Amino acid sequence: MVFLSYLISGLSLGSVYAIIALGYTMVYGIAKMLNFAHGDVIMVGGYICFIATTNLGLPVWLAVILSMAACTVLGVVIEGLAYKPLRQAPALAVLITAIGVSYFLQNAALLIWGANPKMFSPVVTGTLQLFDGQLTISYVSLLTIAACIVIMIALTLYINKSKMGKAMRAVSEDKGAAQLMGIHVNRTISTTFAIGSALAAVAGVLYCSFSPMLMPTTGSMPGIKAFTAAVFGGIGSIPGAFLGGILLGIIESLAKAYISTNMANSIVFAVLIVVLVVKPTGLLGKYVPEKV
Amino acid sequence: MKNGKKINSAVLKDYLTYAAVALAFVVITILDKQGFINNSTRGLLVPICCYIVMAVSLNLTVGILGELNLGHAGFMSVGAFSGVVASLSLAEAIPNPVIRLAIAMLVGAAFAAVVGLLIGLPVLRLRGDYLAIVTLAFGEIIKDLINALYVGQDSAGLHFGFNFRNNISSINDLHMEEGAKAIIKGAQGVTGNEKLATFAAGFVLIMITLFIVMNLVRSRAGRAIMALRDNRIAAESVGINVTKYKLMAFAVSAALAGAAGALYASNYASVKASTFDFNQSILILMFVVLGGLGNIRGSIVAAIVLTILPEALRSFENLRMLIYAIVLILVMIATNNPRVKTLISCIIPKKKGGPANE
Amino acid sequence: MKKNRILAVLLSMCMAMTLLAACSGGSDETTAAATDAATEAAGGETEAAGADNGDAAGTASGTFKIGGIGPMTGDAAIYGNAVMNAAQIAVDEINAMGGIQFEFQPEDDEGDVEKSVNAYNTLKDWGMQLLLGTVTTDPAISVSAEANNDRMFMLTPSASSLDVIDGKDNVFQVCFTDPNQGSASAQYIAENGLATKVAVIYRNDDAYSTGIYNTFAQEAAELGLEIVYEGTFTADTATDFSVQLTGAQSAGAELVFLPIYYTPAAVILTQASTMGYSPIFFGVDGMDGILTAENFDPSLAEGVMLLTPFSADATDELTQHFVSEYESRYGETPNQFAADAYDAVYIMKAALEAAGCTGDMSAEEICEALVAVMPTISVDGVTGTGMVWSETGEVNKAPMAVIIENGTYVTP
């Protein structure tokens, strides 16, 4: 029974990682850049939802929508101001710019919202008691897992069925050729950032419901974990990010419970290394043969 | 003939770099003796030396070998802690601080090189962002391992303990004799370190680093490493041993980072594993990218500028880090956006004429 | 082409550098000028003041420059900002009183050793005569080594490890040392029969937390308390405690001892309540402030016990004055870090007056004078009455056990 509760806490943590990783992987797939500022967009999403519910007294659903809208705008603005001028630049230059954006967001949040942590009220409260109270599952965990699955399915459908999704796949395959086919590459990339940032807002709300301490640096650790999850599953692949996130959460939780709390992070990373050495493109990553 | 001339000019540039570094050292030392240098600049000298070595050594993997490494601070950490163990445990045997510092740096370099080789192995199978995440993972693992490490010394020698499942929670759990010395106290790190580092030691380390890296780049091995970067398959097809050269680049880079770590650690009374985290790796990567991939001189300048920048911005008080972030983004855009670049080159006429550009 | 790019990089960096140099140089000059003016003005004032009450008992006079070091950005920013805000209040109050005058300059160290030593050097250039800081333990160890070397008087409000003061006669603490708190907690639990089965969740990459845990564990073993579960976490894993809490619950712990700061403690309380696990939670001084976290549901902390030297709800005049002043200036309730810093400035004032220092003395002279008087003075502050110091730098004040009821501290 204890095992089951460890498993469920791992599953819900993993679902949050998965939602963040979905944003990471979409942006990577299309813009071919590691957006290290993604974690900080999560933090901004959390803060906006906090302000909307606590300070403005809005209902939770409205707050979530508001925070998604704000993060979408933020994502598009960041893309337009910081990343767009570097479209032709080497990947590493974009990476460093993303880190600059991440510093910027953290320090702007510190100035706007202060250093004092804010306690985020979970979007849903209460627990589900099973087996005569031996197993307790919080509704937040259930909501997180459900949200993750819904988002995964919706995103897969969007990418595979919609016109914009088709454009995204084309741009990720070959930017130049896509442009020649009349696809508006810049607009497609902006849309991807918008979707990724909206997902980050959802992730922020769910993450803070689970771990309620909201600070300007809240986003950095889940950001790194989600990056790991995205690579674990094969970066650029949407089911891969989902699988990677879930597995990462479960491994982390079980390693903490049964092996060592000190080494839990290391164990996650060690598993990652082993997986990558065996399967160099991640669990579901596509193998692209090198051409001379 | 043209070829010969090119090599000469390259070698000449190397000499100029050495001369510039030596000149900077002499000028700063003289200014310091005359009392022209304030405390905050003096305090920055050793960290700047360490960061220069870190940046140059990372440039070897990222710029010259062409593999993204997000865990360079891990090597620094290994070097720092092995160096501190060496210098503190030899405190009685070798009272001379200069010799002890040299030993610490050598030990740090050796341990880091071994770790570099270990990390280099998976590198052979991975590329690009997958490699980047593996180096990141190794950096985090090194941090966790050192966080769990306890080292103490008594008359019987060094004692090691590893806190895997809360089995050790203080140095007393190593069961040492009365009056034993605690060197590394787990996650609290080193708390009683001796300050051995000097600017002169930093200068010597920079010169050694430049000598090793520049000669490596100009050597047969260096050309092989660059060939791997430019086109691995083509390089392999002309008989370049991928394993050997990749591992060589990784190990040399790690060893230099280890020596820099040992120097860095010996500049402070307390050293903690969490200092050498992902953010530290990123900071060093920033030096390399800003200075230009493969550009050794650029790395040096970038390391100096980016270490001084946050200190120079102190008068902005709480806006300091925000301005730092904005400057960073603007510099990246200014140096990489084609339109901005043309604008800059219009405003500032080129110093040199044609020959250097051809 | 490539050369061009490199050239462009270098040129633009040079530009950035000159720009920055110009900026910082300019502002340096202005600050220097401003400081000069301030010192002159203050000098004039004190001369006048000296003429007025030449017969008064206090012999200390002049303006003293206090430097403050603490994390004002990054993870630990709450602690650094609390310290700097409170110190500023104390400095303003003292300046308004007339007599001894202070100038206070806070510097950010991001909680990092290297940055902290840099901040220390910057403050030395500014002309610091007394150091208030550093706020966090690891930087404090390195900075105290530097301060000991330079003979700079250092009073840390909150760096509680013994390593900070160990072997340094010029470094003093306002907060308790870690061992002190660990044994006091174990004694309190045993004496009041709160529990026999105890679980501990502590942060093992933190000197403060492990320090308290170690002495707690030793003392607990002697007093017959059984530690049934030990959970650890690090800065990187301070967001999810469901595993540790499940472990404590299944081990049957009646009391969970939390020798940690209030930020992770708030997460623990929230997650425990989500799980439906409600043992007695027992904290130490780092736990103070939990009720001030914005939007924290005080019902989660109902029944939490903690040992703390400071309570914002205390009814004495001094505390109420400090709390209302802090609230009106910064819009938050001060935590124990703020209280320690507020006291620290008054302690400096008391010590300077006792030693009869003057503002024109050098940092070394002040340091030697203060080292001599620190063990002899006794100060009443918001974190304790009759605080006295040992020659090693440890403070002696009584911790107070409080229990949280209806969102306020109640003495049981």
CATH number at residue C191: 3.40.50.2300
Separation of alpha carbons B303 and B72, rounded Å: 15
Query: Cβ–Cβ contacts within 10 Å for residue C291, how many?
Result: 20
Separation of alpha carbons B55 and A71, rounded Å: 35
pLDDT above 60 (res C38): no
pLDDT at C19: 43
DSSP string computed for A79-97: IIIIIGGGTTS-HHHHHHH
pLDDT at A289: 63
- Residues C159/C182, Cβ–Cβ less than 8 Å: no
Q: Touching check for C80 and chain A: CB below 8 Å?
A: yes
Say yes or no: C343 and C361 in one domain.
yes
- Residues A248/A229, Cβ–Cβ less than 8 Å: yes
- Residue of C90 and A117 predicted with greater confidence: C90
Say yes or no: C191 and C286 in one domain.
yes
pLDDT above 60 (res C103): yes
Separation of alpha carbons A261 and C202, rounded Å: 11
pLDDT above 70 (res A119): yes
Tokens linked to C289: 């402030």
Q: Which of C301, C238, C263 is nearest to A117 (CA)?
A: C263
In a domain, C158, yes or no: yes
Q: Touching check for A108 and chain C: CB below 8 Å?
A: no
Separation of alpha carbons C161 and C178, rounded Å: 6
3-class SS letters over B20-74: HHHHHHHHHHHHHHCCCCCHHHHHHHHHHHHHHHHHHHHHHHHHHHCCCCCCHHH
pLDDT at B30: 92
Contacts of C236 in chain A (CB under 8 A): 221, 265
pLDDT above 60 (res C218): yes
pLDDT at B75: 95
Look over chain B and give the mean of its residue pLDDT values, rounded to a whole number: 86
Q: Find where tokens 């101001």 sit.
A: A81
Q: Which of C273, C308, C343 is at the close of a domain?
A: C308
Paired strand residues for C256? C199, C281
Say yes or no: C276 and C225 in one domain.
yes
pLDDT band at C36 (very low <50, low <70, confident <90, very high): very low
Stretch B240-251: mean pLDDT:
89
In a domain, C28, yes or no: no
Tokens linked to C340: 């320690």
Contacts of B338 in chain A (CB under 8 A): 88
Look over chain A and give the mean of its residue pLDDT values, rounded to a whole number: 87
Tokens linked to C264: 């992770």
**Which of B52-61, C79-88, C204-213 is predicted least confidently?**
C204-213
Q: Touching check for A209 and chain C: CB below 8 Å?
A: no
Q: Touching check for C55 and chain A: CB below 8 Å?
A: no
pLDDT above 50 (res C29): no
**Which of A27-36, A94-103, C216-225, C355-364 is predicted least confidently?**
A27-36
- Residue of A276 and C54 predicted with greater confidence: A276
- Residues A80/B298, Cβ–Cβ less than 8 Å: no
Query: Cβ–Cβ contacts within 10 Å for residue C69, how many?
Result: 33
Q: Touching check for C210 and chain A: CB below 8 Å?
A: no
pLDDT at C48: 36
Domain count, chain C: 2
pLDDT band at B292 (very low <50, low <70, confident <90, very high): confident
Domain residues for the domain of C254 are 178-308
- Residues A15/A45, Cβ–Cβ less than 8 Å: no
Separation of alpha carbons A119 and B293, rounded Å: 44
Out of B323-327, C192-196, C285-289, the most confident range is B323-327
**Interface touch B43/C8, C-beta < 8 Å:** no
pLDDT above 90 (res C342): yes
Interface pTM, i.e. ipTM? 0.87
Please report, for chain B, the start and end positions of each structural domain, with discontinuous segments joined by +: 38-357
**Interface touch A213/C81, C-beta < 8 Å:** no
In a domain, C12, yes or no: no
Question: What SS3 state is found at A70?
Answer: helix
pLDDT band at C26 (very low <50, low <70, confident <90, very high): very low
- Residues B335/C9, Cβ–Cβ less than 8 Å: yes
Partner residue opposite B234 with nearest CB, options A111, A231, A292: A292
Partner residue opposite C125 with nearest CB, options B40, B187, B310: B40
pLDDT at C34: 38
Separation of alpha carbons C33 and C29, rounded Å: 6
Question: What SS3 state is found at C304?
Answer: coil
pLDDT in tens, A184-237: 988 999 999 999 999 999 999 999 888 888 888 888 888 888 888 988 888 888
**Strand boundaries in C96-148, DSSP class E:** 101-108, 130-133
- How many CA atoms lie less than 13 Å away from C175 in the CB half-sphere? 33
Question: What SS3 state is found at C182?
Answer: helix
- Residue of A59 and C295 predicted with greater confidence: A59
Cis peptide bond N-terminal to C134, omega within 30: yes
Partner residue opposite C243 with nearest CB, options A118, A138, A253: A253
State the best of A84, A262, A284 to mutate against chain B, taking most chain B CBs within 10 Å: A262
3-class SS letters over B76-145: HHHHHHHHHHHHHHCCCCCCCHHHHHHHHHHHHHHHHHHHHHHHHHHHCCCCHHHHHHHHHHHHHHHHHH
Say yes or no: C90 and C152 in one domain.
yes
The dihedrals phi and psi of C374, each to the nearest 5 degrees, come to -50, -45
The CATH number, out of the four listed (1.10.1660, 1.10.10, 2.60.40, 1.10.3470), of the domain defined by the range B38-357: 1.10.3470
Question: What SS3 state is found at C21?
Answer: helix
- Residues A144/A15, Cβ–Cβ less than 8 Å: yes
pLDDT above 90 (res B266): yes
Q: Where are the alpha helices (DSSP H) in C65-206?
A: 77-97, 113-126, 137-150, 162-165, 178-191
Partner residue opposite B141 with nearest CB, options A90, A101, A266: A266
Stretch B127-144: mean pLDDT:
86
pLDDT in tens, C134-189: 898 889 999 999 999 999 999 999 888 888 888 889 999 998 887 788 888 888 88
Which chains contact C through at least 3 pairs of Cβ atoms less than 8 Å apart? Answer: A, B
Say yes or no: C185 and C293 in one domain.
yes
Stretch A229-255: mean pLDDT:
90
Out of A133-137, A193-197, B8-12, the most confident range is A193-197
Contacts of A216 in chain C (CB under 8 A): 77
Separation of alpha carbons A123 and A140, rounded Å: 8
Question: What SS3 state is found at A40?
Answer: helix
pLDDT band at B155 (very low <50, low <70, confident <90, very high): confident
Neighbouring residues of B44: CB distance < 8 A, sequence distance ≥ 6: B307, B308, B311, C118, C121
Partner residue opposite A97 with nearest CB, options B237, B322, B332: B332
pLDDT band at A128 (very low <50, low <70, confident <90, very high): confident
pTM of the model: 0.87
* Per-residue burial over A265-286, b = 16 or more CB atoms within 10 Å of its CB, e = otherwise: bbbbbbbbbebbbeebbbbbbe
Say yes or no: C239 and C355 in one domain.
no
Q: Touching check for C231 and chain A: CB below 8 Å?
A: yes
Q: How far C124 CA sits from the closest chain B CA (Å)?
A: 7
pLDDT band at B6 (very low <50, low <70, confident <90, very high): low
Q: Touching check for A212 and chain C: CB below 8 Å?
A: yes
* Per-residue burial over B97-120, b = 16 or more CB atoms within 10 Å of its CB, e = otherwise: beebbbbbbbbbbbbbbbbbeebb
pLDDT band at B14 (very low <50, low <70, confident <90, very high): confident
**Interface touch C73/B331, C-beta < 8 Å:** no
Q: Find where tokens 């004190």 sit.
A: C46
Q: Touching check for A221 and chain C: CB below 8 Å?
A: yes
Q: Which of C308, C342, C373 is at the close of a domain?
A: C308
Q: Which of C301, C314, C353 is nearest to C94 (CA)?
A: C353
Question: What SS3 state is found at C240?
Answer: coil
Question: What SS3 state is found at C226?
Answer: strand
- Residue of C28 and C345 predicted with greater confidence: C345
pLDDT at C306: 84
- Residues B192/C163, Cβ–Cβ less than 8 Å: yes
Percent of chain A with pLDDT over 90: 38
Query: What is the Cα Rg of chain C in Å?
Result: 23
pLDDT at B348: 67
pLDDT at A150: 93
Tokens linked to C63: 């303006």
- Residues A243/A3, Cβ–Cβ less than 8 Å: no
pLDDT at B303: 94
In a domain, C404, yes or no: no
Stretch C233-242: mean pLDDT:
81
Contacts of A118 in chain C (CB under 8 A): 293-295
Stretch B108-136: mean pLDDT:
85
- Residues B126/A277, Cβ–Cβ less than 8 Å: yes
pLDDT above 50 (res B62): yes
pLDDT above 60 (res A266): yes
Which A residues 263-282 touch C at CB under 8 Å?
264-265
pLDDT band at C50 (very low <50, low <70, confident <90, very high): very low
Q: Which of B352, B60, B62, B55 is nearest to B218 (CA)?
A: B60
pLDDT in tens, C290-341: 887 777 888 888 888 888 888 888 888 899 999 999 999 988 888 888 999 9
User: Across the A/C interface, how many CB contacts are shorter than 8 Å?
Assistant: 106
pLDDT above 80 (res C90): yes
Which chain A residue is nearest to residue C235, measuring alpha carbons? A221
